[in-house]
Structure 1
């Protein structure tokens, strides 16, 4: 049987506008309005998963998606960079930022490397295949990117080449460890 995983990227929060390493902050007012505008326009699903971040849980609530938060599809752990702006970190640790953008094994910030994020996301996807059906998950943008890398069995370095706008659905369908990928369908009010 086929498993279909529909990954919904969360509405925007202030961290994205400020180019801030996620600090688990709330949605912006504009993000809240956009989430409410697409409420009720979700595909049906047998199971629901929600990343534990405030942004994902609030997005799920605003779009009318009941579900428990799960730790497995959480965003990349950014260690001591969490909550700081990219400009601030680049000013203090320029070589570290360069390494983070070019070396998928870099974890010099004390958190998780991109390779570790992709491996963890791949394990989560493999677990979902065990029970065929449709899964709808509100997950952080970096989890959507990692899932696309895993689905395509691409090199981790392509992670940075994937853009995921807020409130879009990326669909994975597959079985037996093979995935097809449908990218970035916008959630729209019909």
Structure 2
């Protein structure tokens, strides 16, 4: 059975604008305004989901979606690094950052490794494949990137080369083990 999974990358938050590792905080005012302006461009779907963090829930609400929380698309758990900048972490913990960026099984922050994130996002995606229809989910950029990695069977290193800009739509269509990708188009016109 074919399913179309449409992933909307959440709007801007203060953490994103300040280049901090996501702290699961709320949208900032500009992000909320941009999401509200993009509402008319959101495609229809039989199921609408959102990651449970504030940024994603508020993006879904600003887009006018009645989305149910989906724990499988929650943000990447980066443990004690949450709220820090990569620049600060590189100064304080250079070896840990190097391991995190080069070893997909590393989790020096005490949260999820890239492998664990990819497995979670991939498991969710494969679970949807048996349902068919159209599913729309608002998620953080790391989850969107991990879903793309899984769908296209890309090597883990490709994660660091993908970008999921705020308020872009990434579409995956297919079925378990065979996916096609339509790369993130902006929702704003």
Query: So what's the TM-score if we normalise by structure 2?
Result: 0.97
Counterpart mapping for 1:105-144 below 5 A:
105-144=105-144
Q: Distance in 2 between matches of 1:116 and 1:40?
A: 35
Q: Which runs of 5+ in 1 are unaligned?
A: none
Q: Does 1:146 align with 2:146?
A: yes
Counterparts of residues 158-177 of structure 1 (less than 5 Å): 158-177=158-177
Note the alpha carbon deviations across 1:93-128, whole angstroms, 9 max, x for none: 011111111111110110000011001111000111
Deviation string, structure 1 residues 15-68 (Cα, Å, up to 9, x no partner) = 111111111111122111111111122111011110011000000000101111
Q: How far did residue 177 of structure 1 move?
A: 2.1
Cross-structure match for 1:69: 69
- Matching residue of 2:98: 98
Partners in 2 of 1:88 and 1:127 — Cα distance? 38
Secondary structure class of the residue paired with 1:49: strand
**What is the distance in 1 between the residues matched to 2:109 and 2:37?**
37
The Cα of 1:88 is off from its aligned counterpart by 2.1
Q: Report SS of the residue matched to 1:40.
A: helix
2: distance between equivalents of 1:142 and 1:86?
A: 15
How many residue pairs align between the two structures? 189
Counterparts of 1:68 and 1:163, CA distance in 2? 25
- The answer to whether structure 1 residue 86 and structure 2 residue 67 are counterparts is no
- Name the SS of the counterpart of 1:171 in structure 2: strand
Please say which of residues 35-44 and 153-162 is displaced more in the overlay: 35-44
Tell me the secondary structure at the aligned position of residue 120 of structure 1. Answer: helix
> Cα offset for 1:162?
0.3
Instruction: State the TM-score, normalized to the length of structure 1.
Output: 0.96
Query: What is the alpha-carbon distance in structure 1 between the residues aligned to residue 53 and residue 141 of structure 2?
Result: 12
Residue in structure 2 matched with residue 46 of structure 1 by the alignment: 46
Structure 2: gaps (5+ residues): none
In 2, distance between residues paired with 1:136 and 1:13? 21
